[in-house]
Amino acid sequence: MPILGRKEIERRVNAGELLHNARRQAGKLVVEPASYDLCVGIVLWKDGESGKINQLDFDGTKDQLNQPFVTLQPGQMILVLSREDIVMPLNVSGTVYSRNKLQKENILALNAGHVDPGFRGPIIIRLINLGAIPWTLTLGEAVFTIVFHSVQPTDETGHAARTREETLEAARKTASEAFANPFHDLYKEQIDHQLGRHYSQVEANLRNKFSEEFFRRNQVIQFAFAILAGMLVIVVGLPKVPWKDIWDYLKINRLNVVLIFVVIVVIEILIVRGCFWLRKYLKKKKRLKKKDST
């Protein structure tokens, strides 16, 4: 397929083919020897915080030095619509490339490619900043190159036309469904997931720690209260105890008293051993539960 040269491109553009709203200087088309450089007409990008779709449009009332611009942060993605509308006749196709300057500045252009005969409308291209520093894009700046190829005559109707409004709406939908910063947002999802698990574990540990401290504090309070109650009973009740009668009873029932004392001691020993066993069991159960959660 022969490539159209400068004169043929100029002839066809002047005849209303290939390009609408083509760039001119001093009334003359700006065409390369075998291609045309497409310019930035509309820029769309998604705000990483709010998710809002931002848009900047080329201002035809201003010169190139005073056009609006957008700054891409490292990893950020934007969608660019060409200022020109492609108007392909049925005997011409096109191929869109990113200009070499994008590669030199670490900017990746996606979905630049083939344009079918019969296509009408702007070109959409996605740009991602793969560099380590911010990159500025000025509207009206030439960033893509289209090469035109002649095609053998055909009876087919060609590619369906698409208005600029339809193309812009499609670009807005794409931007809304995409990451604002593909690399950052993917990492952010993983980081948020890991942080969520970490915070849950920290919260569980703090709850256990506070619960243990609360019960220990309550035990101390209960023990102190028991001692005070015991002292109060001794102070109040001790003088009223019939000690002589008790002593006479102990002398008469010496064997029974010894048996009762032995039984009480055995019961207390069993209670103490049971408490130690229960405490050991609870600690073991807690360690197993903590091991399973990690």
Mean of the per-residue pLDDT values for the chain? 80
Instruction: Tell me the whole-structure pTM to 2 decimals.
Output: 0.58
Q: What is the largest distance, in Å, between two alpha-carbon atoms of the chain? A: 137
How many Cα atoms occupy the beta-carbon half-sphere of 276 within 13 Å? 6
What superfamily does domain 6-179 belong to in CATH? Deoxyuridine triphosphatase (dUTPase) (2.70.40.10)
- Is-contact 130 107, C-beta < 8 A? yes
When pLDDT is cut at 50, 70 and 90, the band that residue 15 belongs to is very high
- Is-contact 121 163, C-beta < 8 A? yes
Residue whose pair of structure tokens reads 């609408």 in the numeric block = 20
**Residues 25-46 as b or e (16 or more Cβ within 10 Å = b):** eeeeeebeeebbbbbbbbbbbb
* Cα 181 from Cα 130, distance rounded (Å): 11
pLDDT at 240: 64
- What is the identity of the amino acid at 79? L
- % of residues, the chain, pLDDT over 70: 67
pLDDT tens digits along 242-290: 656 666 666 666 667 677 777 788 888 888 888 788 888 887 877 777 6
162 Cβ contact list (under 8 Å, min separation 6): 119, 120, 121
How many Cα atoms occupy the beta-carbon half-sphere of 207 within 13 Å? 7
Percent helix, strand, coil in the chain, to 5, is: 50, 25, 30
Domain boundaries, the chain: 6-179, 181-241, 242-294
For residue 263, what is the DSSP state? H
Identify any residues that bridge with 93 across adjacent strands, giving them in sequence order.
149
pLDDT at 22: 93
**DSSP-based three-state secondary structure for 59:** coil
pLDDT at 246: 63
pLDDT tens digits along 115-159: 999 899 999 999 999 888 999 999 999 999 999 999 986 666 666
25 phi-psi bin (left φ>0, alpha ψ -120 to 50, beta other): beta
Mean pLDDT of all residues in 171-196: 62
How many Cα atoms occupy the beta-carbon half-sphere of 239 within 13 Å? 3
Does 5 score more than 90 pLDDT? yes
